Each structure stands twice: as C-alpha cells, then as structure tokens.
Amino acid sequence: MTLHQNLIAGEWVGGDGIANVNPSNTNDVVGEYARASAEDASAAIAAAKAAFPAWSRSGILERHAVLRKTADEILVRKDELGRLLSREEGKTLAEGIGETIRASQIFDFFAGECLRLAGETLPSVRPNIGVEISREAVGVVGIITPWNFPIAIPAWKIAPALAYGNTIVFKPAELVPGCSWAIVDILHRAGLPKGVLNLVMGKGSVVGQAMLDSPDVQAITFTGSVGTGKRVAMASVEHNRKFQLEMGGKNPFVVLDDADLSVAVEAAVNSAFFSTGQRCTASSRVIVTEGIHDKFVAAMGERMKGLVVDDALKAGTHIGPVVDQSQLNQDTDYIAIGKQEGARLAFGGELISRDTPGFYLQPALFTEATNAMRISREEIFGPVAAVIRVKDYDEALAVANDTPFGLSSGIATTSLKHATHFKRNSEAGMVMVNLPTAGVDFHVPFGGRKGSSHGPREQGKYAAEFYTTVKTAYTLA
C-alpha cells in the first residue's frame, strides 16, 4: 500500500506509517499515512518561517490562482474525495460529497477575497496628516483540526490563512488524515512555493504539542475538545501568540406549542442525529413546551423508526457509524449515565451489527430529562439527545441559555414574537429559526460564545480578523 507522506519544505517525507481504518468496516484500510515526529514539526515550522517573507509579499494574483485551482480540482473530484471522506470518517456519502463541495466553495470564496483586500484612509485629527489602516499577514499559522469535518474545517482554516499571506504548519486529526493529505497535495500541485504549506500528520500530544511549544508559531487556530483548547490557550498566552478556539457545544433546540410539528421533528432529527450526532453544532437538548410535548415525542419516535443506520457508503443509509471504538464507548457510557440519572430512554440506544464490522449505534432519544443531568450539561458528541419538558417560552429560553456552552441554538415556532425574542436573547453565536442547529453557510461568520469559542469568528470576510494584523500608519503631507 502506498504511504502518504508529510509535506515539509516542499518535499514529501517520512517513512513510518499507520493505517487509516474505515469505521463502517474495520477490515477496510483506507490507506497508510506517515506519522510525524516532534523534529518533523520543528522542521515544518522552520520551513514556514523561511517561506513567510516572500509569501506575505506575494502578488494577489499568485495567491488567487493557487486557491482558485484548488477549488476547481476539489469540485472536479467531488465524488472521489467525498467517498474518501465518508470512508475514513463514517458520515454518509451524500454528507461526504456535500462537505467536499463546501470545501471547494470555501477555496473559491477566499480566492475572491485575495482580490478584495482593502484598507482605509482617513484624515488625522492633526492638520496635514493622513492616516492609513491596512491589514498584514500574521506570520506562521499553526492549524490543528478535529476528525468530524475532515475536509471542510481544514479548508476553512487553510484558505484564509493563505489568502491573507500567512504560511502554515497543518496538523490534521489522527483519525482522518486522508482528506487533509488530498487537499495539501492539490494545493502543492497548484503551485504553492516551498514551505508555504507544511503538513505534519501525527499525534496531538507529539506534533500538536511541538507546535504549541514553538516560539516561531505566531498564531494557532484550533477546533477540537475543551481540554485541548485550554492547552492551546495556555501555551499561546505563554508565547504571546494569537489564538482562536472552536470547542464543544451543548446546543439547545426549542420546540414551542405553536410549532409546525413536521418542521420541528425534521429539524430536531437532523440536529440530533445526522452526521451521527458528531457535529459541534448538533443539538443534544430538545426543550419542549408541555402543550406539544407528548405529540412531539410520539412523532420523533415514528420518524426515528425510519432512520437507516448502516455502512456510510451504502445507498439508502441515513446515519453512518460512530467514528471509532473510543467515541462509541463515550456514547454508550452517556446512555448508561442518562438511565442512572433517571431519564427515560424512549427510543434507540442499542449497539447494532451490520454486514461489516463497524461502530454502529441506533440513535438514542431520552425523555423526562432535566437540564441538571450530565446528559444535558456535557457534550456527548454522538447520536444521543434528551427531551426536556418546560412550561412555556420563558422557561424554554432560560433552560436553553443555562449551559456553559454557546455555539448554536434553534427554535421551532410559528410566532414572530417568540422567534424575534429568541434571536435576540439566545446566548449563542448562531441562532436558527425553524431550521436545524447544524448546517451553516461558508460565506458568513461561524463561531460561538461562552465555553464554545475564543477569538474572532471563522469564515466569510470575518476570517480576516484572525489571519491578519492591523497596521495604522501616519504620514505628514
């Protein structure tokens, strides 16, 4: 089997590989991927540092061309890359291809942003002096990504980093190196100069940690767990570096008495269970007012019966497997905790077997949960959700906001008054009305509040805030 190597200073290097295994069929090895050492990470950082002066001054057409070619190639190869994604991560083929198309759109958007770089000029408060405000590249950016969006998250960090003139050391998640390797290969062939983008696949505790400990990394953008996010923050403060964190969520989805029942059920099922519940924007707290509660729970049960859990690559699968054994253990542990805490497991939650050995779990819905239970407070990151019964809208809003997290939130209602009030008062970075809590556009800001996020928003033109630093220059006329 061919070994997919790391890219350091424009060369493919590294010998020691590990197998990338398909969670739908653990007998299927997707490929062999090299494992970088801490020394490789240092070499990658040195290469990115050396490449920075020239790349940060490169012409906007050069950057545009690389990003544009990358967008085009990803789109042409969407079926193949989408399949690779579903094979290594376990989301359905439709979701894998959809995410691949989105990655292409992100590169296309930032190709355009290269041509729209602008500053401001304004008069000084002192006579005969002009002021220019411009954005400059930050330097070497460390990119650390999780396994749940193997192509979209790398794309939405790499594309703006390059567009604004930064150089990169990129460490993808251990479980899903395939899509990351593929987009780095595409960007490399699209004409990036040596050292501008370096790929170091490997362990977080080794390669990621080497990035955190380096004084030559000027910024780190991270998506992953709360625990690792805190390490990134602490190390970054130590090195006086810029950092951006996207961590967990415990996103609420509110269903009011006046909701359209089918809209509410569709949005709740999508929020809780699609992509196997492995989205930081997934909803695992469904907060339902008492007038619609029983009807809603019954309709959820009916809808859940129709969900097909099977091999991600099979036509007709709605929910793929859980990503690996340790995540599956976490999901089943939380199902046991929910029962112990006194919630009622109304539907699903069983381990199931299919034609191939994989990590298959029937989506689980608890009822009679309270917001104080661990299943309502801690991120599970699987197809497990809990219904919390409340009296009215005011209680629903209070419960929705009573969480340490604040990434996304949703409400199902036909009341303009409640929808408007919820949009204004939900303590989340993204609010959805009559839509699932997950499923966001690539051209508008993504990010949360409270324990979910730190630093400027990602995506769209707001990405410039993180990937550039502002300069204010004064000139005497």
Cβ of residue 341: shortest distance to ligand ADP, in angstroms?
Answer: 23
Q: Give me the catalytic one of 73, 89, 113, 246.
A: 246
Query: Is there binding between residue 447 and ligand ADP (CB under 6 A)?
Result: no
Q: Which of 228, 330, 371, 459 binds ligand ADP (CB under 6 A)?
A: 228
> 207 or 369: whose CB is closer to ligand ADP?
207
Cβ of residue 292: shortest distance to ligand ADP, in angstroms?
Answer: 34
Q: Which of 26, 225, 401, 434 binds ligand ADP (CB under 6 A)?
A: 225
- 246 catalytic? Reply is yes
Sorted by sequence, the CB contacts under 8 Å of residue 447 that are 6+ apart come out as 246, 407, 429, 430, 453, 456, 457, 458
Distance CA 384, CA 273 (A): 7
Query: Is there binding between residue 328 and ligand ADP (CB under 6 A)?
Result: no
Pair type for strands 283-289 and 251-255: parallel
Distance CA 378, CA 380 (A): 6
Of 71-79, 94-102, 142-150, 444-452, the segment contacting ligand ADP by CB under 6 A is 142-150
Of 86-94, 141-149, 305-313, 347-355, the segment contacting ligand ADP by CB under 6 A is 141-149
3-state helix, strand, coil in the chain (%, to 5): 40, 25, 35
Q: Which of 139, 204, 277, 348 binds ligand ADP (CB under 6 A)?
A: 204
Query: Is there binding between residue 195 and ligand ADP (CB under 6 A)?
Result: no
What is the DSSP annotation of 94-162? HHHHHHHHHHHHHHHHHHHHHTT---EEEE-SSTTEEEEEEEEE-SEEEEE--SSSTTHHHHHHHHHHH
Instruction: Evaluate whether 117 touches 135 at the Cβ level (below 8 Å).
Output: yes
> 210 or 343: whose CB is closer to ligand ADP?
210
Q: Which of 224, 252, 338, 348 binds ligand ADP (CB under 6 A)?
A: 224
Distance CA 453, CA 33 (A): 30
> 156 or 393: whose CB is closer to ligand ADP?
156
Instruction: Evaluate whether 205 touches 114 at the Cβ level (below 8 Å).
Output: no
Nearest to 150 by CA among 107, 110, 183: 183
Instruction: Evaluate whether 52 touches 137 at the Cβ level (below 8 Å).
Output: yes
> 171 or 250: whose CB is closer to ligand ADP?
171
Q: If DSSP codes are grouped into helix, strand and coil, which group holds residue 200?
A: coil
Q: Which residues pair with 178 in a beta bridge?
A: none
Query: Is there binding between residue 208 and ligand ADP (CB under 6 A)?
Result: yes
Instruction: Evaluate whether 179 touches 154 at the Cβ level (below 8 Å).
Output: yes
Query: Is there binding between residue 56 and ligand ADP (CB under 6 A)?
Result: no
71-110 burial code (b ≥16 CB/10 A, e <16)? bbbbbebbeebbbbbbbbbbbbbebbbbbbbbbbbbbbbb
> 174 or 310: whose CB is closer to ligand ADP?
174
> 145 or 289: whose CB is closer to ligand ADP?
145
Query: Is there binding between residue 451 and ligand ADP (CB under 6 A)?
Result: no
> 31 or 224: whose CB is closer to ligand ADP?
224
Sorted by sequence, the CB contacts under 8 Å of residue 94 that are 6+ apart come out as none
> 77 or 231: whose CB is closer to ligand ADP?
231
Distance CA 42, CA 55 (A): 20
Q: Which of 43, 212, 217, 428 binds ligand ADP (CB under 6 A)?
A: 212
Cβ of residue 173: shortest distance to ligand ADP, in angstroms?
Answer: 4
Distance CA 326, CA 197 (A): 31
Cβ of residue 209: shortest distance to ligand ADP, in angstroms?
Answer: 4
Half-sphere exposure of 410 (CA within 13 A, CB side): 32
Q: Which of 116, 121, 189, 205 binds ligand ADP (CB under 6 A)?
A: 205
Sorted by sequence, the CB contacts under 8 Å of residue 286 that are 6+ apart come out as 252, 253, 255, 268, 272, 385, 386, 387, 388
Site string for ligand ADP, 146-185 (x = CB under 6 A): xx-----------------------x-xx-----------
Cβ of residue 204: shortest distance to ligand ADP, in angstroms?
Answer: 2
Query: Is there binding between residue 144 and ligand ADP (CB under 6 A)?
Result: yes
Cβ of residue 248: shortest distance to ligand ADP, in angstroms?
Answer: 9
The residues that touch ligand ADP, with contacts defined as CB under 6 A, are 144-147, 171, 173-174, 204-205, 208-209, 212, 224-225, 228, 231
Residues annotated catalytic, as ranges: 246
